[in-house]
Amino acid sequence: MGKPNSKDLTQKHLKANLHYNPHSGIWTWIKPRPKVNVGQQAGSKNLRGYYYIGFEGKNYRSSRLAWLYMTGKWPQQEIDHINRKLDDDRWKNLRKASRAENNRNQVKRKDNTVGYTGVHWCNTWHKYIAQISIDGKRTKLGSFNTAIKARAAYLVAARQHFGEFFSGR
């Protein structure tokens, strides 16, 4: 039998080699491997902050392996970290998400100078502008004298449109 890829790696094969603790999100090896001891933590964090586990000649994102481990099925969509901590693979912190839903639950961008998602300063009008992107289309929510008021407008719209993927950041 050849090395499995994500299409033929099964829950049974995964569980025969690795243990996932759904309460801590930590993976450990249960079968010895070269340079790896039984009980040793599996995986390492990449530069973006996600944990990956090298297994059977392929690197897997540990959150996707957790989905397979717990449900027996590969996720067809992305896996979102509810608390936005990419290294927190506890089962209660993981959920299926579309690309758009996952993008809504990201941390504040580093180039955000106002401090609030959906709010920017307009030099022309000397006001704060609130806007929201829904299905790839930006909608202006209004212009405001303060960033707090613009943020409030964004939060109302985001809560309405994004449902469980509304992060409130």
Q: What is the pLDDT along the chain (169 residues), one digit of tens a residue?
A: 344 445 579 999 999 999 999 999 999 999 988 888 999 999 999 998 999 999 988 999 999 999 999 999 999 989 999 888 999 999 999 999 988 777 766 666 677 788 888 898 999 989 999 998 887 788 999 999 999 999 999 889 888 887 777 766 5
Q: Is residue 50 within 8 Å of residue 63, measured between CB atoms?
A: yes
Distance CA 29, CA 20 (A): 9
Q: Which domains can be identified in the chain, with CATH numbers?
A: 11-101 (3.90.75.20), 108-162 (3.30.730.10)
Q: Is residue 75 within 8 Å of residue 96, measured between CB atoms?
A: yes
Q: Is residue 128 within 8 Å of residue 120, measured between CB atoms?
A: yes
| Those residues with Cβ within 8 angstroms of residue 17's Cβ, 6 or more apart along the chain or in another chain | 29, 30, 31, 55
